[in-house]
Amino acid sequence: MNRDDIINLAEKYINKSPGNYIQKEAALHPGCVGMKIYDAPIFAFGAADDELYVKYKSPGIIGSHFQGPTQWLPTAKTVISFFLPYTKKIRAANATDNRWPADEWLHGRYEGQLLLKQLTEYLVETISKTGHKAIAPSFDERFKIGQENNPFTSNWSERHVAYACGLGTFGLSKGVITKKGMSGRFGSILTEQNLPKDTRAYSGIYEYCTNCGKCINRCPARAISENGKESPICSSFMSKVMEKHSPRYGCGKCQVSVPCESGIPVS
């Protein structure tokens, strides 16, 4: 199985899966029935021994609790990072009201995450059948969110992995800007199969961000400033959304109606 095989399998899965379309019994309103959640995914392949994974253990980045690829899978050779971009309908709906997330966005965050997990497990199983071990850290029983001094961190970060593999750079709102923008969800897989690696097209952590500040005014919780995003403030607002829409949750206002919504912004 080569890189193209993996990408093609993922594209077909996303296009054909019933989970990528909102079913009538789950729809929050009639306009959501049949709505497509994700467009075709984009991929990047990185080295499991990339020096960035050691740097991520630094206190000023993630911390010592971060586990590098070979800590999850000792024989890992390749890190596969992918991004599932939300459809225009989801993005457009979430841009119309700056107080609460749109129903369409709530579906994207909740049902979309379920589909992301299904896709990831499908790819892990398919790769494993070729005789190469593969795992997905975010869905592994060892995955943990929160530390005693920081509840907003984890021992595996999809965003930092995406940066390391070459999918994109960070923005002011702490999202990752890819060639398909930042409005969507990230996933990753580790495999001992030694696949060809991508070269990062950037050298700076915030290289794709123009610091336009549009996301600052988009945030209903006022969690974003010129200095970045305050996770506790963002989390507090997300808890209110959960109370209002449980089991669905999300916000994503900082990811729509901004130059980096669906592509890399031009300076």
Query: For 28-58, how does the pLDDT look when each residue is reduced to its tens digit (9 = 90+)?
Result: 999 999 999 999 999 999 999 999 999 999 9
Interval 134-160 mean pLDDT: 93
Q: Round to whole Å and give the CA distance between 240 and 260.
A: 26
Tokens of 82: 């992918």
Q: What is the pLDDT of residue 46?
A: 98
CA–CA dist 151, 86 (Å, integer) = 27
Position 184, amino acid: G
What's the whole-number average pLDDT of the chain?
A: 96
Residues 6+ apart with CB under 8 A from 6: 43, 80, 123, 127
* pLDDT category of residue 97 using cuts at 50, 70 and 90: confident
Lowest mean pLDDT among 37-46, 114-123, 146-155, 232-241: 146-155
**Tens-digit pLDDT profile for residues 117-126:** 999 999 999 9
- Supply the pTM of this predicted model: 0.96
Residue 83 to residues 38, 162, 211, Cα–Cα distance (Å): 10, 8, 22
For 9, 36, 92, 136, the CA distances from 15, given in Å and listed in that order, are: 10, 9, 21, 22
pLDDT at 262 over 90: yes
- The per-residue pLDDT for 60 is 86
Alpha helix positions (H), 49-154: 52-55, 69-72, 88-94, 103-128
**What are the sequence ranges of the domains in the chain?**
3-255
Which residue from 154, 174, 152, 171 is spatially nearest to 210, judged by alpha carbons? 171
